[in-house]
Structure 1
Amino acid sequence: MRLPFLPPSTRRVALLIDGENCAATCALATLKVAEQQGRLVVKRVYANWSRPGTQAWIEPVARYQLQPVHHERVSAAKNATDILLVVDAMDMLYNQFIDTFCLITGDSDYTPLVKRLRKAGKEVIVIGDERTAESLKAVSSRFVSLKGEGVVGKTNNASIPPAIPTDQGELTTQTTPEPATADGYLPPTALQPAAHNSNSQHTRTPMVTSPPVQAPTRPLREAVVLLSKAILQATKRDAEGWVSVAVIGHELRKIDPTFRPNWFGHASLSKLVAHCSQKVSLFEIRTQHNNQLEVRLRRTQG
């Protein structure tokens, strides 16, 4: 089908990344390619986030505000991540709100998907490297090679390139100090009761107190990485993957004994977790009947 001409400013673009087939170091380069095609309205990374090999994606997910899509492996013989990406792409096709699909993978299993999208008149740009399947290159509208990026076939913990500018800017934390609360990190400051002096005037004698919550000294993405690692290594998770904030605090102290929520401008771990869940779609939180805050890695609906 002949593609209708649409100026780049009106083209709606979806960036779909197979996070189990691509290295996290490709995040910045693929974003740049996708943004050159038009208005980037979807940017998703698909992976089983409980696998150690996908943890390198946690930082670029936070830094570039990608949407992580999680799916558990249901069978050793089946790749649920591939299937989920295909299902989402077909939903977008039938909803008719995407003009250009940018697919980041090297897997030939996506060849039928690319052919179907192009048959429906969509532009499909495959982004990969020299290891990308020839069948996938052949059926795409255009193949973009990211030479030297190590895009396909591995995940690693190499450092992530500097952040790109976005409308929302890089993730930041709040700068307004909060009253100290629980979680065992910053106990509330307190004053001694008023005392009478010789002139019967009231005076206040301050006790030795904890330092006030400082303005953030570290970027929020570092908190996202630490929280994600703590959740993944926590053994006290329920069947649905929920972990209490108390358990997360214990795991964080094992990762870094010096960890403090006020590094990120929050008086308590609970407030930091809640703030991260608002800024990054990687986490889900809930409050149990005993007011115990719990968190887990976000899962797909249904």
Structure 2
Amino acid sequence: MVNPRIIAKIESEEPTLRLAVLIDADNAQASVIDGLLKEVASFGEATVKRIYGDFTSPASSQWKKVLNQYAIKPVQQFAYTTGKNATDSTLIIDAMDLLYTRRFDGFCLVSSDSDFTGLALRIREEGLTIVGFGEQKTPDAFRNACHKFIFTEYLRPTVQAPEVSPSLIVPAKQKIDVIQSQSQSSETKQPENKQSFAKKFPREFIVEALENSYDHTGWAHLGTFGSYLLKLQPDFDSRLYGFKKLSDLVKTRTDVFQTTERTIPGTDTKVLYIKVR
């Protein structure tokens, strides 16, 4: 079952989780740390931030520059022998120690290594939220062991646009036309430096998930729909298809969805319901 507080995050409700963030320095890049911690903050508070690796190794030099800046506690682990990864064992032991303190609502595991699949499953068995972060190469076993899995390629800094010569400035009317054109083709819209990360909109999967989320009225609450998507595919993320939030995706893709808003009885709050067009 997907933790309801993960579903709350889908529509940017206030974060509530107390999280332990554990980073495998051997299988994560320092360039993603800023975006990664911002993503963690959207789920809750990172009360523990630890990174594991051999920081005497040249391969970990990139991490040394950011540890103090982001208040991440390094856990030094020398390699016992060539070809064996002692870092994984240390991280897993620490994770279990933290788990048994009962002070946390969830864990964020940052690695592309399938060796952490068993740890993720064990944390889930305790009823805690598990959020995974890793590259696209991360094996399905680890992705699916998490309640939510986020690709770190998306978290890398964007390339700053070059300065534009005044002679090349586009008139306002043309800008509007361009924006409208881009909106119509939002399925393929991606940041320039993330073209290789673009994914084709999974229409068949989306429609099937939505049809299985309907209530007795033939409509699906957006939160119920989002919950079902994550149960089927923990690495589903509307940002992969050019939309910041799931609600933006369903409102924009009018070729797939019909939407309506309902007022919660006794309040002025409106909630979004959707169905297949």
Superposition TM-score, scaled by structure 2 size: 0.51
**Structure 2 CA distance for aligned equivalents of residues 126 and 54 of structure 1:** 21
Kindly state the Cα deviation for residue 147 of structure 1 after the two structures are TM-superposed.
Answer: 2.7
Name the counterpart of 2:61: 55
Instruction: Report the identity percentage.
Output: 32
Mapping of residues 161-240 of structure 1, within 5 Å: none
| Residues 39/149 of structure 1: CA separation in 2 closer, same or farther (3 Å cut) | closer
- What is the CA RMSD across the aligned residues, in angstroms? 2.5
Kindly state the Cα deviation for residue 108 of structure 1 after the two structures are TM-superposed.
Answer: 0.5
Name the counterpart of 1:215: none
**Structure 2 CA distance for aligned equivalents of residues 2 and 108 of structure 1:** 21
What one-letter code is carried by the residue in structure 2 that aligns with 1:25?
Answer: S
Mapping of residues 274-289 of structure 1, within 5 Å: none
Kindly state the Cα deviation for residue 146 of structure 1 after the two structures are TM-superposed.
Answer: 2.7
Mapping of residues 103-114 of structure 1, within 5 Å: 103-114=109-120
Match of 1:67 among 67, 70, 73: 73
| Residues 39/131 of structure 1: CA separation in 2 closer, same or farther (3 Å cut) | same
Name the counterpart of 1:282: none
Kindly state the Cα deviation for residue 122 of structure 1 after the two structures are TM-superposed.
Answer: 1.0
Question: Quick check: which one's helix share is greater?
Answer: 2
Match of 1:43 among 26, 31, 49: 49
Which of 12-21 and 68-77 deviates more? Answer: 68-77
**Structure 1 CA distance for aligned equivalents of residues 86 and 152 of structure 2:** 26
Secondary structure of the residue that 1:75 maps to in structure 2?
coil
**Structure 1 CA distance for aligned equivalents of residues 100 and 111 of structure 2:** 22
**Structure 1 CA distance for aligned equivalents of residues 135 and 39 of structure 2:** 14
Kindly state the Cα deviation for residue 133 of structure 1 after the two structures are TM-superposed.
Answer: 1.4
Kindly state the Cα deviation for residue 134 of structure 1 after the two structures are TM-superposed.
Answer: 1.2
Q: Given that residues 2 and 121 in structure 1 are in contact (C-alpha distance below 8 angstroms), is that contact kept between their aligned partners in structure 2?
A: no
Q: 2:36 matched to 1:30?
A: yes
| 1:159-214 residue CA offsets vs partner (Å, 9 max, x unmatched) | xxxxxxxxxxxxxxxxxxxxxxxxxxxxxxxxxxxxxxxxxxxxxxxxxxxxxxxx
Mapping of residues 119-158 of structure 1, within 5 Å: 119-147=125-153
Kindly state the Cα deviation for residue 76 of structure 1 after the two structures are TM-superposed.
Answer: 2.0
* Structure 2: unaligned runs, 5 residues or longer: 9-13, 158-277
**Structure 1 CA distance for aligned equivalents of residues 26 and 82 of structure 2:** 14
Kindly state the Cα deviation for residue 68 of structure 1 after the two structures are TM-superposed.
Answer: 0.8
| Residues 11/55 of structure 1: CA separation in 2 closer, same or farther (3 Å cut) | same
**Structure 2 CA distance for aligned equivalents of residues 133 and 34 of structure 1:** 21
What one-letter code is carried by the residue in structure 1 that aligns with 2:150?
Answer: V
Name the counterpart of 1:94: 100
| Residues 92/33 of structure 1: CA separation in 2 closer, same or farther (3 Å cut) | same
What one-letter code is carried by the residue in structure 1 that aligns with 2:43?
Answer: Q
Secondary structure of the residue that 1:143 maps to in structure 2?
strand
Kindly state the Cα deviation for residue 46 of structure 1 after the two structures are TM-superposed.
Answer: 0.7
Kindly state the Cα deviation for residue 71 of structure 1 after the two structures are TM-superposed.
Answer: 1.0
Kindly state the Cα deviation for residue 150 of structure 1 after the two structures are TM-superposed.
Answer: 6.8
Q: 2:58 matched to 1:85?
A: no
* Structure 1: unaligned runs, 5 residues or longer: 152-302
Secondary structure of the residue that 2:104 maps to in structure 1?
coil
Secondary structure of the residue that 1:88 maps to in structure 2?
helix
| 1:229-278 residue CA offsets vs partner (Å, 9 max, x unmatched) | xxxxxxxxxxxxxxxxxxxxxxxxxxxxxxxxxxxxxxxxxxxxxxxxxx
Name the counterpart of 1:188: none
**Structure 2 CA distance for aligned equivalents of residues 2 and 138 of structure 1:** 12
Kindly state the Cα deviation for residue 69 of structure 1 after the two structures are TM-superposed.
Answer: 0.9
What one-letter code is carried by the residue in structure 2 that aligns with 1:16?
Answer: L
Q: 2:18 matched to 1:12?
A: yes
Superposition TM-score, scaled by structure 1 size: 0.47
Equivalenced residue count is 152
Q: Given that residues 18 and 47 in structure 2 are in contact (C-alpha distance below 8 angstroms), is that contact kept between their aligned partners in structure 1?
A: yes
**Structure 1 CA distance for aligned equivalents of residues 28 and 66 of structure 2:** 13
Secondary structure of the residue that 2:130 maps to in structure 1?
strand
Kindly state the Cα deviation for residue 65 of structure 1 after the two structures are TM-superposed.
Answer: 1.5
What one-letter code is carried by the residue in structure 2 that aligns with 1:136?
Answer: F
Q: Given that residues 124 and 142 in structure 1 are in contact (C-alpha distance below 8 angstroms), is that contact kept between their aligned partners in structure 2?
A: yes
